[in-house]
Amino acid sequence: MPPSDQRRGRLPPPPAPPPPASSRRSPDSSGASGESGASDGWQRAWIWLLALLAMGVLLVLLWTVSPPERAEELTYSAFLEEVPTGDVEAVEIQVGSGRIEVQRPDGSTSTVQGPPGGPPEADVALFDEHGLRRDYVADQDTGWLGTLLVMMLPVTLLIGALIFLSRRTEQRLGGLSTFGRSKARVRVGQRSDVAFADIAGYEGVKEEIGEVVGFLRESGSFGRVGARIPKGLLLVGPPGTGKTLFARAIAGEAGVPFISITGSEFLEMFVGVGAARVRDLFETARKQRPCIVFVDEIDAIGRKRGAGVGGGHDEREQALNQLLAELDGFEPTEGIVVLAATNRPDILDPALLRAGRFDRQIVIPLPTQDERAAILEVHCRDKPLEAEVDLQLLARGTPGMSGAELANLVNEAALTAARRAADRISAADLDAARDRVLMGIRRTSLALSDDERAVIAHHEAGHAVLAHLLPHADPVHKVTILPTGMALGVTHQLPVRDRFLHQRPQLDDALAVRLGGRAAELVIFGVTSSGAQDDLLAATALARTMVREWGMSDAIGHMAWGSQGAVFLGEDLMHTRDYSDETARLIDSETSRILEEQARRARTVLEQHREAFEAVAAALIEQETLSGGEIAAIVEQSGGGPRLAEVPGSGRLGQRYPDSARIPG
């Protein structure tokens, strides 16, 4: 791997910022959430409607059976005591319930709850003895409808409660009745909101994928000459390069149904559900053909079988087996194209990548400088820019950034412009956003002593002077001793152009620049500090890679060993290094030799240009931040001159690196 373009201070660098989330929600995801929300709303409405209906029925029945205004209640014994006194003129007796309505001479009434079935014969004789008029009436009848409602109300409430609890349980468990159904989002009857014209750069990838679009549009022309489109296309590339965006663009260009799902949605806590969902996914695809099936992050179910601690994951392997069977189970003429995306193709099962399944891999790499400029133009379409903004220059200063990171950079620049209440984004806003993304947020609250600032200034000056003087080092873009991110000081280098091949002279200069901060501390103070921690880690990793993997050691010769594999990446648990202890000692020895050689070389250059080196450090203490042009001017004014043609150093004194130098082997 190439050396890092940042030279950190005391602390290790912060983790890379995550890719920004898309500001536009896809129609399929919004549609799915809308349908789910509408379904939940209807369920709540029905529950409230049933509750209101039950309350209404109860009120009607209570009103019918018992009037709202009732007469005075008497006990039956008190009523019998009033009969001989003449306070009772007449009674009305309900035969069934035994309820008695008492009428008095003054016109008032009261009610008495008598014995069910009516008063006994002795009481009736008492009534006759005192001349009470008696009327016998039947009980109030609520009718057959009221009786039915009274009988059905408890049953209805019980059934409603069971339905409510069942649906709540299904929602919490993901739907007991839909465990085996695929969770894929199907977009039918509408074109995707993304086309190839909306994707900047990647012309080779567009041409490769264009065959899929042509097959879906005119499948007959392929069949006439006996050609068939690959069943599966695997989109491979680093995170943020636009693999999912390309899949949506294929659906937009072809104008066919687009079925999308992620690999993790196949897996559940119950064994066998993943395989059932794979079957349901392809059954849905056959009903929608011609169509595109897109499986994002396929490595969630496509990892190597039988790998990891204790073997494999049974549920994941069953889902993978079913996916392999489905890929073999349909013909290309059915009009189904399966796309998948992953950023870890090395851990996929070999059976998934064989011919006849995902037999074509389309690599979507990080964008080149010209592609970065085009991507920046796309993200700046709807943003007002100052006339001074040069996107080509910004593209040169963002090597290794993906499309998602470039979108984040433009958004950070817009936020910076908004903070200063500007109407347009300036070049300074874009430059500040790039520094914020690459170097981190400046920590203004951290107070350093004068001694610490002096050490940091000389440390960063060592990086900067060596980056300026060594002929194959990347030029300096900016140096600061202000605490930024997790570092106490930062030296930021920018390559002149994108590099895809790293030669030995470039790597040696990169190591010398990395070790220049520690060498500067030794030259000025005679002791080292903990500020070189990140530099030593990065330099050691680069030197070990040069020796072990790139064959850049005469003692090792034409041999290379890959990096150690981890269990969670699908490698065997008992995997160990594939070289002997003697070779391991030789690798350590060669790594140490290369590091010591470049450390001596860096110290020699700084001692020979000490005046320029100290002038840069003094300027950093005074101004805190210097640009690459300011550093070049200070070095040349102090007698440092332009970049060295001859590079002094241990074993290479007076030797000039030839421009045609190549990696050995």
Could you give the residue numbers annotated as active site?
460
Among the listed residues 518, 503, 505, 414, the one whose alpha carbon sits nearest the alpha carbon of residue 461: 518
b/e code 235-263 from CB counts within 10 Å (16+ = b): bbbeebbbbbbbbbbbbbbbebbbbbbbb
Give CA–CA dist 572/309, Å, rounded. Answer: 8
Range 523-554 burial, b when 16+ CB lie within 10 A, else e: bbeeebbebbebbbebbbebbbbbbbebbbbe
What strands, in cross-sheet order, belong to the sheet with 476-480? 6-8, 490-493, 476-480, 625-627
Q: What is the DSSP letter of 120?
A: -
> What is the residue type of 91?
V
> Please, are residues 493 and 644 in contact by the beta-carbon 8 Å criterion?
no
Distance CA 640, CA 653 (A): 18
Answer whether 252's CB lies under 8 Å from 192's CB: yes
Q: Helix (H, G, I), strand (E, B), or coil: what is residue 318?
A: helix
Residue 572's contacts (CB-CB under 8 Å, 6 or more residues apart) are 307
Six token digits for residue 320: 């993978």
Q: From CA 430, how far away is CA 438, in angstroms rounded?
A: 12
**Contact of 536 with 518, CB cutoff 8 Å:** yes
How far is CA 111 from each of CA 94, 100, 108, 114, 135, rounded to the nearest angstrom? 11, 6, 11, 9, 14
Residue type, 483: P
CB 62: neighbour CB atoms within 10 A? Answer: 11
